[in-house]
């Protein structure tokens, strides 16, 4: 699905209607519409979402998901699964292909290295060795040591209106709230490639419908809108709902929380690549997690979306938050610049502290003869810090592999404890 971006400005109250008309006129709505993304309850922060297979249940874990011949020495203690210091790695009964995997663990002895989770039974994750270390935040959503904090709850000093005058949104009790009619706001900070964290809550507007209910937007570089909308039991067009890259991609799933509840976007954005003449040679790419659930996996964005600040795709740009006439609230906004940064191989916590991996994995695509047509690909966060984005791993293109493109998940033994481990198959991104 690729639809041209509408040229209407989204500050116009008729924008959704005009945008819809624009799409119709462009012939985009006929034959190319995708089905409404299914609703999936994201569960509490840290999951599991409702469509996940729990491997270590967060309340009452069992050894049932695991192959009995691998469980010797593994012990359940309340909500924790303890690995044997020496012993066999734990292997799932079920095989998986394209998945999102969440693992919480803690190292219990000094000197124990971080566990390497295996996917397809062989591919060890995380994948990057020898890089630098980043200090993670106190929680996975708190700003890591190398983050630029864009809104910390105290002031709008880092923001302006789009014409440069002071921003006029309200800052109340640590929260940034859209003041309808005062216009979009942008950061003074400009960026190219980033990891970005934003939290938002939509207002309770039961009388409003569709695009009129809790509308705002998170514009990457001021150009590409990740839609903010109350899409909890509120139908709208498929590529205009919460989490959509507006009029370009619907989210893979709808994981909205109800209005007034805090939600999160964790976004990895790689800006357009351009030649010396300022012509785009590689489109921007984005991966987005909404409430911890992947809704876009390394999708290509083909141009600025409606209501954009400018079309200078080769230039750095600010973060822009949309005034669409609704009192959407924001908090805890930060980014990490990825451009020019050395490789980050870990963001560890201390012995005894709980840590997490969030992994988005695409199995290799194999031809009929068993050769790799497209390599496996992985995105990894460690304690909320991006380690790898869509990195290719495993056998190279053309290599003959003697196993299927599905396989078990393996938790390594060692001085390690696990809790709240879940996995969910993910759909292919739209083409
Ligand atoms: Mg919007």
Segment 184-212, tens digit of pLDDT:
999 999 999 999 999 999 999 999 999 99
25 Cα to the center of ligand 1, angstroms: 21
134 Cα to the center of ligand 1, angstroms: 33
332 Cα to the center of ligand 1, angstroms: 19
Residue 236: pLDDT above 80? yes
Q: State the pLDDT at residue 138.
A: 96
151 Cα to the center of ligand 1, angstroms: 20
Where do the structural domains in the chain lie, given as residue ranges? 1-34, 53-131+344-425, 148-337
Please, which residues have CB less than 5 A from ligand 1, an ion? 215, 217, 227, 322, 324
Band of residue 14 on the pLDDT scale cut at 50, 70, 90: very low
**Mean pLDDT for the stretch of residues 345-358:** 96
**Mean pLDDT for the stretch of residues 250-260:** 97
Identify whether the C-beta of residue 226 lies closer than 8 Å to the C-beta of residue 237: no
DSSP 166: B
Of 252, 247, 256, the C-alpha closest to 201 is 256
What share of the chain in percent tops pLDDT 70? 92
Q: State the pLDDT at residue 36.
A: 83
Q: What is the largest CA-CA distance in the chain?
A: 66
30 Cα to the center of ligand 1, angstroms: 23
Identify whether the C-beta of residue 92 lies closer than 8 Å to the C-beta of residue 55: yes
What share of the chain in percent tops pLDDT 90? 84
71 Cα to the center of ligand 1, angstroms: 49
Using one digit for the tens of pLDDT, what is the confidence trace for 386-417? Answer: 999 999 999 999 999 877 789 999 999 999 99
Band of residue 266 on the pLDDT scale cut at 50, 70, 90: very high
Q: State the pLDDT at residue 430.
A: 60
Residue 4: pLDDT above 60? no
Residue 384: pLDDT above 60? yes
> 53 pairs with which residues across the strands?
423
217 Cα to the center of ligand 1, angstroms: 4
pTM over 0.85: yes
Neighbours of 71 (CB within 10 A): 18
225 Cα to the center of ligand 1, angstroms: 7
Band of residue 8 on the pLDDT scale cut at 50, 70, 90: very low
Identify whether the C-beta of residue 357 lies closer than 8 Å to the C-beta of residue 351: no
CATH H-level superfamily of 53-131+344-425: Exo-inulinase; domain 1 (2.60.120.560)
Residue 428: pLDDT above 90? no
Identify whether the C-beta of residue 112 lies closer than 8 Å to the C-beta of residue 415: yes
Of 308, 314, 310, the C-alpha closest to 283 is 314
Provide the CATH number for the domain formed by 148-337 in this structure. 2.60.120.560
Band of residue 129 on the pLDDT scale cut at 50, 70, 90: confident
167 Cα to the center of ligand 1, angstroms: 18
Q: Matching CATH topology for 53-131+344-425 and 148-337?
A: yes
Band of residue 32 on the pLDDT scale cut at 50, 70, 90: low
**Mean pLDDT for the stretch of residues 60-75:** 97
DSSP 400: B
Band of residue 431 on the pLDDT scale cut at 50, 70, 90: low
């Amino acid at each position: 699905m690729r639809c041209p971006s509408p040229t209407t400005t989204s500050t116009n109250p008729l924008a959704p209607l005009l945008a819809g008309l624009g799409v119709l006129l462009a012939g985009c709505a006929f034959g190319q519409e995708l089905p409404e993304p299914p609703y999936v309850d994201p569960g509490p922060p840290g999951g599991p979402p409702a469509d996940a297979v729990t491997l270590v249940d967060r309340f009452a874990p069992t050894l049932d998901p695991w192959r009995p011949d691998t469980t010797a020495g593994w012990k359940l203690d309340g909500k924790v699964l303890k690995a044997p210091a020496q012993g066999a790695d734990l292997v799932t009964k079920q095989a998986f292909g394209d998945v999102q995997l969440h693992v919480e663990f803690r190292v219990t002895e000094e000197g124990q290295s971080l566990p390497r989770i295996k996917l397809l039974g062989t591919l060890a994750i995380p994948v990057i060795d020898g890089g630098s270390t980043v200090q993670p935040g106190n929680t996975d959503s708190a700003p890591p040591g190398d983050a630029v904090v864009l809104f910390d709850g105290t002031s709008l000093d880092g923001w302006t209106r789009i014409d440069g005058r002071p921003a006029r949104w309200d800052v109340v009790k640590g929260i940034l709230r859209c003041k309808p009619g005062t216009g979009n706001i942008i950061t003074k900070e400009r960026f190219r490639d980033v990891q970005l964290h934003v939290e938002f809550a939509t207002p309770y507007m039961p009388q409003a419908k569709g695009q009129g209910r809790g509308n705002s937007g998170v514009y990457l570089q001021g150009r590409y809108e990740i839609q903010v909308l109350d899409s909890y039991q509120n139908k709208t067009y498929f590529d205009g709902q919460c989490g959509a890259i507006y009029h370009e991609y619907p989210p893979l799933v709808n994981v909205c929380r109800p209005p007034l509840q805090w939600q999160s976007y964790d976004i990895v954005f790689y800006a357009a690549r351009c030649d010396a003449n300022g012509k785009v040679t590689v489109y921007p790419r984005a991966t987005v997690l909404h409430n911890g659930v992947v809704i876009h996996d390394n999708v290509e964005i083909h141009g600025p979306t409606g209501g954009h600040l400018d079309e200078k795709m080769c230039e750095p740009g600010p973060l822009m938050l949309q005034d669409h006439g609704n009192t959407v609230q924001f908090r805890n906004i930060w980014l990490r610049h990825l451009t020019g940064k050395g490789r980050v191989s870990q963001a560890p916590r201390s012995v005894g502290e709980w840590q997490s991996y969030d992994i988005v994995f695409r199995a290799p695509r194999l031809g009929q003869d068993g050769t790799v047509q497209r390599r496996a690909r992985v995105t990894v966060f460690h304690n909320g810090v991006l380690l790898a984005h869509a990195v290719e791993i495993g056998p190279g293109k053309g290599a003959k592999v003697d196993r299927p493109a599905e396989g078990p998940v393996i938790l390594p033994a060692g001085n390690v404890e696990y809790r709240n481990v879940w996995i969910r198959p993910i759909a292919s991104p739209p083409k």
